[in-house]
Structure formats: C-alpha cells, structure tokens
A and B are shown apart, each in its own frame.
Chain A
Amino acid sequence: MAIVELKNINKDYYLGTTVVHALKNINLTIEKGSFSAIVGPSGSGKTTLLNIIGCIDKSNSGSVQIHGNQIDSLTDNQLTELRLFNIGFIFQSFHLIPVLNVLENIEFPLLLMNKYSKKEIRMKALDMMEAVQITDQKNHRPPELSGGQRQRVAIARALVTNPEIVLADEPTANLDSETGSVILTLMKNLNKTRKTTFLFSTHDPEILKYADSSITIRDGQIDAN
C-alpha cells in the first residue's frame, strides 16, 4: 500500500532572472513500512523532494498524495495538522528546542496534538526514550548532549506521535561514522518493530546498505528505482 504518491512533480527556484529546475517530472511511490533512501550528490534535489513529501514546500506542478490526502488543496492549518499527525521529521542539524529538556522535547509534539492526557503523554515519551536509549539524559537540555544523543532525541520526537512516515534529511551528516551507523541501526530497528515507514536522504553510499530500497536522484531527476 502506497503511503506517498508523487505524480509529475516539478519544482523551480528563481534566483533573480535565473530559473533553477530543482525537480523535473518526478514520479514516485513509497510503500508503507518501507525503509527507503534517496541518494544523490549535493544539489541534486534530495532535500527539495523530502520537503515536498513532508508538506514543507509546494511543487510548481504535479500532484502529491500523503496517506490518501491530496495535499495541493490543503490550507496552511490543515498542512500543519497533517505534519503533526502523519509525518515525523529528523533534521540533519537535529533542531531540538534548546530551552526544553530531553523529556520535554519528546513530549512537545504530543502536547500540540491535544489528544492525550498528561499521564499518557508522559508514558509515551518515557517509552520512546527507552526505545532510543536516552533515558539517562531525560533531564538534560540539548546543548548538554552529544550529536548522537541529540539525534536519538530527534528520532524519539519524530516517532512519539506514531506517524505514518518519518522523513530524515541526511540524519547522519553531522555525526561520526560510528555514531551514524548506530543511529541508522536504531532507525532500522524501529522500522521493523513499529512498522513505521522511513524515507531518508543521504549522499553517503555506505549508508545505502541499511535501506530496503533506494531512489537515486541527479539534477532533479530520478535515475533508477
């Protein structure tokens, strides 16, 4: 079952009078429960593609369907809700809220959902902390954590809402190779145990061995599937 379906996606950026074709006629389907990678050199359009799938950016033409929702016609608030309830994000530079501690950072999206009681939120967050093995640091704030620990918190935050898909933009780019491989192993395990769909971008061919499938992108076009 397809969780993401892109049809004829084009995305152009305008730099003064110059038009940059970031994505050209992209057609893509991501299956539920998959662990897929988008591979390509820098500037190939990986991040743009992830942004469009994550409802962070809009395409110039074509249609995007996430979990059965046609996103082109959604309002800003509806897109925000879609991101909150259906999509988890893991950023290259972690992007944790610096003034909240580890536990509070993980609880944050659950609080925004306005769906669970305080007790439920705390339980879910603690479970997730255990899953990413960061329980000992629950009262630490992001600046007090290492890169690997921060990315674990980011993964926990992305997964705590139990989203349909988790998008990770170069999740290991700011980590050393050993920590990177630990993080990817963790993501892979979560994909297996929780059946969460993962789509991550990378330009490191070493990381590809963790992916079930890969999408190579070059100059805004998909090379092979």
Chain B
Amino acid sequence: MPIELKIAWRNLFRHKGKSLVIGLILCLGTFIMTIGNGVINGLNTGLQENIVNNFSGDLVLVSDKQIEKTVLASMTGHTLKPITNYSELKPKILTISSIDKILPAGAGYVWVLNENGNPLDQYLLGVDIESYSKFFNNNLIIEKGSLLKKDQRGVLVSTRMRDWYFDFTDSWTVPINTPFDITTAPEKVQKNGTSLQIKNSIVYMGLSSKNASLDILTDVIGIVKFKELNSILGFYCIVDMSSFRECMGYFESSNNTVYISKKNKNLMTSDLESIDTLFNDSFETINESTTEIKNDLTKIKNIAPSPLTEELGTYNIIFVKLKKDLNLHKTITKINTLLKEKKIPLQAISWNEAIGMFGQIAMLMKGALFLFVLFIFIVAIIIIMNTLSMATMERIPEIGMMRAIGTKKRFIQTMFLAETGLLSFVFGGLGILIGSITIIGCRLLNLSTTHEMLQILYGGDTFSPSLDLISVSLCVLQLGLIVCLSSIYPIYLARKISPLDSVLRS
C-alpha cells in the first residue's frame, strides 16, 4: 500500500469521531441523492413508458404549417392545422424505415355546453376506436357501458371528466342504455339525492381556428379510464372520428361537392329561425313542387349518407410508434429530413414536446427534485469542508513536521484526498447501497395514487423510483464531486502549512 494511503487510512481511525461525523454526513447526503436520482429516473422512465404506450406513441406527425408544438395539451386552445389528404400520405409515411406503425386521429380543444351557461373546456380525441385500441394495446379500461362499435357514433367519457362534469354541473354522466344504480355511485353523488341529473349525452362545441364553432350532441357510449396516468390523460374524452370532424368543422369523407342553384343556395343558407326573415321581401318562398328543388334535394340525399373509406376524411394528427431501440431525437431529425425530401407536408414532434403542459409540469418537478438534490449536495460540501478545515488546522504540527523532513506539498495533497476519498468510498458507498435498497423497497410497497401531481411525480399510478446504470454513475459522480469540492479548501490550507508553522506551534 502506498505510504500516503497507509497514513490516510490510519488517520481515519486515529480521528474516529471526526471521521464518523464526516462519514455520516456523506452517507446521509449520498442516500438522499440516490433516492432523488431514483425518483427523477422513475419519473422519466415511467412518464415515457406510460405516455408513449398509452397515449401519444413515440412521436406525432402534424401538418408542416403547424407552429405550436404542444399539440396534445396546449393551454391556449389553438386548433391543429388539418391534414386533408391522409390517404395519399399514408403509403409515403410507411416507406420511412424507422416507423413501425401509425394511427391517424383528431385532437382538439372543445367546450362542453351545459344548462348553467358556463361551458367547461376539455380535450377531445377523435379516433377509429378499433385501430386506437390495437395501436395503444387496449389502453382503456371500461368502467360502465362499452367501447364504441364499428361506425358507431358517440363518446367515451373518461372517469376524470365524468367527475369534473359532476363537480361543475351536478349532473352524473351515465352511458346510454345503461341503468343507473345510485347505491353504487360515489358518496358525493349519493349525497346529491333528488337534485341529481343523469346525463346520457353531451354537447361538445369545437373551437376552430377562426373561433367559429359547431356543436354536436353525442351519446355517451362508455365511461372509461386510462390504464395508467388516468388523472392526467383523463382530460381527454374519445369520440368517433365522424363526430370529431363535425365538431371541429372538418370535412367528412362523405362531404362531396353538390352543385345546386343559386336560388336554392340562398334558401338553404337563410336564417329560418328568425321569424323576421320569413316576412322579408328578399326571402324566396319554398315551392317544393318545383322540379329544381326536388332535384337538388335528391342530389344531397344521395351523397350525404354514403360513408366512403374513413381514411379519406380530414385528420389533424398522426400517432407514430417507432421500431424498437431507436434514439428518439436522432430519429425525429432523420424523419423530418425524409419528410422534406419526400415532399410530405408533415413534421415530426417528439412525445414529450407534444404533451406540452404535462411535460412542463414533469420538467418543473424534475427541476425541483434536482434543486433539492443540489441543496443537499451543497450543504454536504459546506459541512464536510468545514470539518476537514478544522481537522487540518489541528494537524499543523504534524503536517509541518512532515514538510520539514522532506515531504512535498503534493504528498500532503494526496494524503488529504486519500483520506476524504476513503471516507467517501466507505460511507458514500454505504449511502448509495442503502438508497438503492430503499428504492427497491419503495417499488415492492407498490404505493399508488390517483392525485394528478403525484402521478406525474411517480411517472405513473404507482411510485416506481428506479436506478439504472446511468443513475448509479450519476450518484458516484456527485459523490466524487463532493469529495473534490469539499477537499479543495482544506487541501489549500494544508499546502500552505510550512515547516516553520510546526516549529512555532511546538
């Protein structure tokens, strides 16, 4: 063993009290840092797994005219730019080798209209439910009613939104054709007693880019919850694609151009609800016997109900799942380049950018956790530095004597670093070990929550802090930094000790 290490090692036992104090601080500091790193890592991997698998895919494709990137949870309520030619784009998109599968959909911000006049706002996702369930591995759990059937129109209300509707409108949402048993309802619903309204349908009003809006009355087909992160993802209710398009003012596959006469056009666009209009001079009377109108109505009737293939209609977002083990950010850059090369008018946005505010809240939480870890880190440095500095001052005669008999400053520096390094190795290692065991214990406890902030912190419904090789390396790196930073000043003091100091102290 080199003599520096031998002296350092024995010095630790000689000053047992101080070594123990510094050691315990190091142990506690690294324990807290390990837990912090584990929570941050769990949050990262949990959010990624749960959101990617349940909600967004690895990335989304939106129109290249889309400016705002937080396409799945924008607080501003801006509508997404429509993708009008999905059926043409689909084969081109699928030629990109890194893409595994895609799902076209519509995502938008809507108002829920109700009798009390104060609309509630929420997100609406328009999908073909069969493809959606397949794409996201049956991510929905049916609580009441059923999922939408093929070509069925209606909405799947999330438990999160059902509770919200109740909180604001005192009405309890129940799927159509499903009996309501108040005894099985939550306590808050039962308390409402006779004043409770049961609703089987909801009126959604889409917010379009021009703020002109259409409203649709949709039957509630099922009450569902997302398998994970329901408190967060439950801000979305799911409707069939046709209802979504109607609500957002998009063209349906069945919307075809029908040429009708100017007179009939004026008639159809007249505001018939206004009684005055009927007595207006300019109003053209309806004469159903005229052949012209009959022909026009026949044309409309023939076209309106004909459901062409679903993919011919308008979408505004395409969920994408990538082939496994690809670097997300590199792949997005690559896909964006390919989209431009292939002249596909779309852009790729990563899942974490797309989820917007959820990602930002997660970032804030990560930031807060990081600051907490940093605070512990700084406190540990200050305490250890102070204790080591005091120990250095007490050892002036010993260090001065060593300098007198020919020890160079470098030797003193190495000896001090070795002392702190050995302490860190033993106690810091112990802290990391206890922290890791605690993390495993937390996972085994299976602590779950329905609180939305805690769900973000947990990265899912259950508290699953985790440590991978990178997190452990980060703990070791932080420990190394503590050792180096807390040793700088004591080493500076020790290097300044001259042989004369030793003689004068004697």
A interface residues (Cβ-Cβ under 8 A, vs B) = 47, 51, 54, 56-57, 76-77, 80-81, 83-85, 89, 91-93, 95, 97-100, 104, 108-109, 111-113, 157-158, 161, 169
Instruction: Tell me which residues across on chain B come within 8 A of A57, comparing CB atoms.
Output: 500
Instruction: Tell me which residues across on chain A come within 8 A of B6, comparing CB atoms.
Output: 100, 104
B503→A97 contact, CB < 8 A: no
A sample of 21 cross-chain residue pairs with beta-carbon separation below 8 angstroms, ordered by A number, consists of A54-B404, A56-B404, A57-B500, A76-B409, A77-B409, A80-B403, A80-B408, A83-B404, A95-B398, A95-B506, A97-B7, A97-B401, A97-B402, A104-B3, A108-B3, A108-B405, A109-B405, A112-B406, A112-B408, A157-B405, A161-B406
Partner of B3, one of A56, A111, A161: A111
Residue of A56, A83, A98 ringed by the most chain B CB atoms within 10 A: A56
Instruction: Tell me which residues across on chain A come within 8 A of B409, comparing CB atoms.
Output: 76-77
B406→A80 contact, CB < 8 A: yes
Residue of B10, B11, B402, B406 ringed by the most chain A CB atoms within 10 A: B406
Interface bits B1-41 vs A (CB < 8 Å: 1, else 0): 00100110011011000000000000000000000000000
Instruction: Tell me which residues across on chain A come within 8 A of B397, comparing CB atoms.
Output: 95
For the complex, what is the distance from the CA of A108 to the CA of B402, rounded to whole Å? Answer: 10
For the complex, what is the distance from the CA of A56 to the CA of B503, rounded to whole Å? Answer: 9
Partner of A91, one of B14, B401, B407, B408: B401
Restricting to B403-421, which residues have a CB under 8 Å from any CB of A?
Answer: 403-409, 411
Instruction: Tell me which residues across on chain A come within 8 A of B13, comparing CB atoms.
Output: 99
A80-B403, A157-B405 given; A100·B500 CB < 8 A: no
Instruction: Tell me which residues across on chain B come within 8 A of A51, comparing CB atoms.
Output: 500, 503
Nearest A residue (CB) for B502: A95
For the complex, what is the distance from the CA of A99 to the CA of B397, rounded to whole Å? Answer: 14
Interface bits B376-414 vs A (CB < 8 Å: 1, else 0): 000000000000000000000110011111111101000
Shortest distance in angstroms between B394's beta carbon and chain A's nearest beta carbon?
A: 12
B401→A56 contact, CB < 8 A: no
- Other than the given A56-B503, A112-B406, 5 more pairs (CB < 8 A) read A56-B498, A57-B500, A77-B409, A112-B405, A161-B406
B7→A100 contact, CB < 8 A: yes
For the complex, what is the distance from the CA of A108 to the CA of B404, rounded to whole Å? Answer: 13
For the complex, what is the distance from the CA of A84 to the CA of B407, rounded to whole Å? Answer: 8
Nearest B residue (CB) for A95: B401
Nearest B residue (CB) for A101: B10
Shortest distance in angstroms between A55's beta carbon and chain B's nearest beta carbon?
A: 8
Tell me if B234 is interfacial: C-beta within 8 Å of chain A: no
Shortest distance in angstroms between B34's beta carbon and chain A's nearest beta carbon?
A: 32
Interface bits B479-506 vs A (CB < 8 Å: 1, else 0): 0000000000000000000111011001
For the complex, what is the distance from the CA of A134 to the CA of B506, rounded to whole Å? Answer: 25
A112→B407 contact, CB < 8 A: yes
Instruction: Tell me which residues across on chain A come within 8 A of B11, comparing CB atoms.
Output: 99
For the complex, what is the distance from the CA of A20 to the CA of B166, rounded to whole Å? Answer: 91
Shortest distance in angstroms between A10's beta carbon and chain B's nearest beta carbon?
A: 17
B interface residues (Cβ-Cβ under 8 A, vs A) = 3, 6-7, 10-11, 13-14, 397-398, 401-409, 411, 498-500, 502-503, 506
For the complex, what is the distance from the CA of A77 to the CA of B408, rounded to whole Å? Answer: 7
For the complex, what is the distance from the CA of A169 to the CA of B500, rounded to whole Å? Answer: 13
Instruction: Tell me which residues across on chain A come within 8 A of B402, comparing CB atoms.
Output: 97
For the complex, what is the distance from the CA of A80 to the CA of B402, rounded to whole Å? Answer: 10
B7→A56 contact, CB < 8 A: no
Instruction: Tell me which residues across on chain A come within 8 A of B7, comparing CB atoms.
Output: 97, 99-100
For the complex, what is the distance from the CA of A212 to the CA of B3, rounded to whole Å? Answer: 39
Instruction: Tell me which residues across on chain B come within 8 A of A93, comparing CB atoms.
Output: 506
A99-B14, A111-B3 given; A91·B506 CB < 8 A: yes
Instruction: Tell me which residues across on chain B come within 8 A of A113, comparing CB atoms.
Output: 406
Shortest distance in angstroms between A180's beta carbon and chain B's nearest beta carbon?
A: 18
For the complex, what is the distance from the CA of A97 to the CA of B415, rounded to whole Å? Answer: 13
Instruction: Tell me which residues across on chain B come within 8 A of A91, comparing CB atoms.
Output: 401, 503, 506
Instruction: Tell me which residues across on chain A come within 8 A of B506, comparing CB atoms.
Output: 91-93, 95
Instruction: Tell me which residues across on chain B come within 8 A of A112, comparing CB atoms.
Output: 405-408, 411
Residue of A76, A95, A157 ringed by the most chain B CB atoms within 10 A: A95
B10→A109 contact, CB < 8 A: no
B398→A81 contact, CB < 8 A: no
B14→A89 contact, CB < 8 A: no
Instruction: Tell me which residues across on chain B come within 8 A of A108, comparing CB atoms.
Output: 3, 405
Instruction: Tell me which residues across on chain A come within 8 A of B401, comparing CB atoms.
Output: 91, 95, 97
Instruction: Tell me which residues across on chain B come within 8 A of A99, comparing CB atoms.
Output: 7, 10-11, 13-14
B405→A84 contact, CB < 8 A: yes
For the complex, what is the distance from the CA of A137 to the CA of B403, rounded to whole Å? Answer: 25
Shortest distance in angstroms between B181's beta carbon and chain A's nearest beta carbon?
A: 80
Instruction: Tell me which residues across on chain B come within 8 A of A80, comparing CB atoms.
Output: 403, 406-408
For the complex, what is the distance from the CA of A95 to the CA of B7, rounded to whole Å? Answer: 15
Instruction: Tell me which residues across on chain B come within 8 A of A56, comparing CB atoms.
Output: 404, 498-500, 503
A51-B500, A111-B3 given; A100·B10 CB < 8 A: yes
Instruction: Tell me which residues across on chain A come within 8 A of B398, comparing CB atoms.
Output: 95, 97-98
For the complex, what is the distance from the CA of A84 to the CA of B502, rounded to whole Å? Answer: 17
For the complex, what is the distance from the CA of A165 to the CA of B183, rounded to whole Å? Answer: 102
A89→B500 contact, CB < 8 A: no
Instruction: Tell me which residues across on chain B come within 8 A of A111, comparing CB atoms.
Output: 3
Shortest distance in angstroms between A142's beta carbon and chain B's nearest beta carbon?
A: 11
Shortest distance in angstroms between B382's beta carbon and chain A's nearest beta carbon?
A: 28
For the complex, what is the distance from the CA of A169 to the CA of B504, rounded to whole Å? Answer: 12
Nearest B residue (CB) for A93: B506
For the complex, what is the distance from the CA of A51 to the CA of B502, rounded to whole Å? Answer: 11
For the complex, what is the distance from the CA of A100 to the CA of B404, rounded to whole Å? Answer: 17
For the complex, what is the distance from the CA of A111 to the CA of B402, rounded to whole Å? Answer: 13
Shortest distance in angstroms between A51's beta carbon and chain B's nearest beta carbon?
A: 6
Partner of A89, one of B10, B405, B411, B498: B405
Nearest B residue (CB) for A84: B406
Shortest distance in angstroms between A14's beta carbon and chain B's nearest beta carbon?
A: 14
Nearest B residue (CB) for A54: B404
For the complex, what is the distance from the CA of A214 to the CA of B411, rounded to whole Å? Answer: 37
For the complex, what is the distance from the CA of A72 to the CA of B407, rounded to whole Å? Answer: 20
Instruction: Tell me which residues across on chain A come within 8 A of B498, comparing CB atoms.
Output: 56
For the complex, what is the distance from the CA of A47 to the CA of B506, rounded to whole Å? Answer: 11
Shortest distance in angstroms between B163's beta carbon and chain A's nearest beta carbon?
A: 68
